[in-house]
Amino acid sequence: MSAVVRDPSVARSVALFRAFRHEQTEPERCYALLACDAARQIERYEPLRGRLVVDVGGGSGCFTAEFRRRGARCYLFEPDVRELTAHGPPPAGAVLADGCLLPLADGAADVCFSSNVLEHVADPRTFLSEMVRVTRPGGLLYVAFTNWLSPWGGHETSPWHYLGADRARARYRRRTGRPAKHTVGENLFPLHIGPTLRQVRALPGVTVVTARSRYAPFLAEAVVRVPGVREFATWNLLLILRRSPYDGSRSAAPATTPAAAG
Ligand SMILES: C[S@@+](CC[C@H](N)C(=O)[O-])C[C@H]1O[C@@H](n2cnc3c(N)ncnc32)[C@H](O)[C@@H]1O
């Protein structure tokens, strides 16, 4: 996918924004571009070729497909069978599993990945700890999510979520004649950048490599450093984390095929 360019840059942000605008009509194109972009972001820190990658909450598998295209051994874990089969048959080796209780040995993955899942999880702290547990010492974690006060925080009800989740949901139903996919407190949870950063920095044996706006064309890291402003201006927080190489707090298994996959 050649349209993905230097990150961050105006051209890249414009390309991603254009793809998002057609997400409903051309989801494959939109997610293929996003997956290519995420893969490139990971490869800045860790090669994908030959690595064992775990895609947690991977939906129908567009990221998994891209990681495999780049030579990774990637396994998808997804708790919702409707998401898994939304765009056709599930990817080979997909596992029905909750990200808070992954059927994987400690330290099984070289790269643990989750894109736009954290805000859908009732217990993000446990979800993050579980991602750390399954990553090998020295391995990489990629976590991106849309925070609640982002202009896209209410997902399909945005930007009316700024007036309250119930009001936004009622408006969506009035306008479209169908219920919104997401209900706050059920499958969408208001996550904020400040508290999430504090939670991540408190994770034992983990270093924050970068905390940045995932899509911003410039000032991508700077904006995340400004309390208050970051809640509105980040849009989507990208965390690249590294599990400490000599973390004795958890036992580490060699990076082999996950027991439950395949
Ligand atoms: C917005 S979709 C993102 C899918 C995919 N990662 C992507 O970016 O295209 C959110 C996904 O998170 C999944 N999810 C929700 N709660 C989860 C949990 N506790 N563990 C793992 N995945 C979960 C949902 O089933 C859904 O597939």
Model confidence at 4, pLDDT cuts 50, 70, 90, reads low
pLDDT of residue 78: 98
Percentage of the chain lying above the pLDDT 70 cut: 92
Angle of helix 27-43 relative to helix 10-21, nearest 10 degrees?
150
Nearest CA to ligand 1 atom 6: 58
Which residue's alpha carbon is nearest to atom 9 within ligand 1? 59
Q: The whole model's pTM is what? A: 0.93
pLDDT 10s digits, 234-261: 999 999 999 999 766 554 443 444 444 3
Phi, psi of 126 (to 5 degrees): -65, -40
Ligand 1, from 23, 100, 120: best to mutate by most atoms within 8 Å of Cβ?
120
Q: What is the pLDDT of residue 25?
A: 86
Measured from the Cα of 62, ligand 1's closest atom is 9
Classify domain 10-147+191-247 by CATH architecture.
Answer: 3-Layer(aba) Sandwich (3.40)
Q: Which of 22-26, 81-85, 161-165, 167-171 has the lowest mean pLDDT?
A: 22-26
Element (H, E) at 76: strand 73-78
**Strands of 236-243's sheet in order across:** 95-96, 73-78, 52-56, 109-115, 135-146, 236-243, 206-213
Q: Which stretch of 25-29, 107-111, 154-158 has the lowest confidence by average pLDDT?
A: 25-29
pLDDT given at position 247: 67
CA of 252 to the centre of ligand 1 (A): 26
Residue ranges per structural domain of the chain? 10-147+191-247
Which atom of ligand 1 is found nearest the CA of 80? 25
Rounded (5°) CA angle 5-52-234: 40
pLDDT digits (tens, 9 = 90+) for 163-202: 999 999 999 999 999 999 999 999 999 999 999 999 999 9
Distance between Cα 87 and ligand 1 center (Å): 14
Around ligand 1, the residues with Cβ closer than 6 Å are 31, 56-59, 62, 78-80, 83, 98-100, 115-117, 120-121
